[in-house]
Structures are given as C-alpha cells and as structure tokens.
Structure 1
Amino acid sequence: MCGAPVQGQTLPAGVDVEKETVIVGRVLSAEDQQPVGGAYVRLLDESGEFTAEVVASGTGDFRFFAAPGTWTLRALSSTGNGTATIAPESAGVHSADVLVAK
C-alpha cells in the first residue's frame, strides 16, 4: 500500500501563498473531461527525478508544495496515464490539470 496522502485543493490554514509555491490541479479523463479520483500523481523535477507522490481526491484534485522551477506531473490510474508540465516562476498558487488516457 502506498503512503501517499489523499489531496484536495483547499489549502491548510497557515499557508502563506506570498512565500510558498503551491501546485494544484485535477486528474481528468482525456475522453470526457470527467474527474478521475484515486489516481496516483507524481511530481518529477526538471531532470525527471521523483520528488513526491499524492493520491488524487475523489474529485480528482491534487496539491503539491514545491519550489519555483519546471515540474512534470505524472498521473497513474486505472483509467489511464498522463503527464503535464508546469513551470511556476514565483510563490503563489499555480494550476495544471493532467489528462489521462489508455
């Protein structure tokens, strides 16, 4: 069993988005744009190295705390797999959805 925490897009109390870089998004089916809950979402750094993993909520939501830079989001689910790239340049909340397909 994976120890990745289940995520949502609501930020915990005390998160200062003026100082922290937060990556949020949803895992969606490429076919019909419906949310894919329970997907494993991995955060890979610019060189492709694994950094973190979370489980998308029942509505496909996920969240990572990261640093500015270029990141790859990789979603793995029974519906299929997909990737997206995001490159936040500063602190704040940055959004990217991941479309999955077989």
Structure 2
Amino acid sequence: MCGAPKQGQKLPAGVDVEKETVLLGTVSDAAGAPVAGAFVRLLDSTGEFTAEVVASATGDFRFFAAPGTWTLRALSSVGNGNVTVSPDGPGVHEHNITVAK
C-alpha cells in the first residue's frame, strides 16, 4: 500500500506561487467523472519516478516541482492515462488527466 498523502486543490498556507512551481489537476474518466483514489505519479524528463500522490475524492492531485519537462501518469482501476507538461517557471500549472482502459 502506498503511503502517499491525499491531495486537494487548495494550496497550503504560505505557498508563494511567485516562487513555487505547482502542478495540479484532476483525474477523470472518459465521461468526465472524477476518479477518486487514482495513483498519480510524477516522472522526470527521462521517465524516472520522482513522486506519487493519491487523487482526492474529487480526483484532484498536486505536486510541487521545478520548471522543466514532466510526465503526469494516473493509474487506477478505471484505467490509466498520462500527460506531458513543461512548466517554464513558477506559478500554478493546471493539467487534467483522462484515464481509459
């Protein structure tokens, strides 16, 4: 069982989005319904595992990362999906993931 913390869209107090690069979004199925409990992985530009969180009851996830190229990969019983993102600096960068079998 993974010990990754549950996530939500509300940023913690004290997060300075002028200095932090935040990757967030929602995992959903092909019909657009949120996928609760999906494991969302952050992979670096070479495909190496960096971090993992569990999507909230509303499918939300969040990572703090550095600018660069990342892959967000969602794994769930509903299916899997991924999206490649390239935040170029600090701020909130929203990227949703659709999963399918």
Tell me the secondary structure at the aligned position of residue 61 of structure 2.
strand
Task: Give the whole-Å Cα distance in 2 for the aligned partners of 1:85 and 1:7.
Answer: 20
Distance 1:36 1:56 in 2: 7
Aligned-pair CA distance for 1:85? 1.1
User: Mind listing any 5+ residue stretches in structure 2 that lack a counterpart?
Assistant: none
1:52 counterpart SS class: strand
Q: CA RMSD in A?
A: 0.5
Counterpart residue type for residue 10 of structure 1:
K
The share of aligned pairs that are identical, in percent, is 72
Q: 1:3-59: per-residue Cα shift (whole Å, max 9, x none)?
A: 1110001000000000000000000102x0110010000000000000000000000
4+ residue runs over 6 A deviation: none
In the alignment, the residues of structure 2 paired with residue 93 and residue 57 of structure 1 have an alpha-carbon distance, to the nearest angstrom, of 18
Normalised by the length of structure 2, the TM-score is 0.98
Instruction: Provide the C-alpha distance between the structure 2 equivalents of 1:22 and 1:64, rounded to a whole number of angstroms.
Output: 6
5+ long unaligned stretches in structure 1: none
- The count of aligned residue pairs is 101
Q: Which residue of 2 aligns with 1:66?
A: 65
Aligned residue for 1:40?
Answer: 39
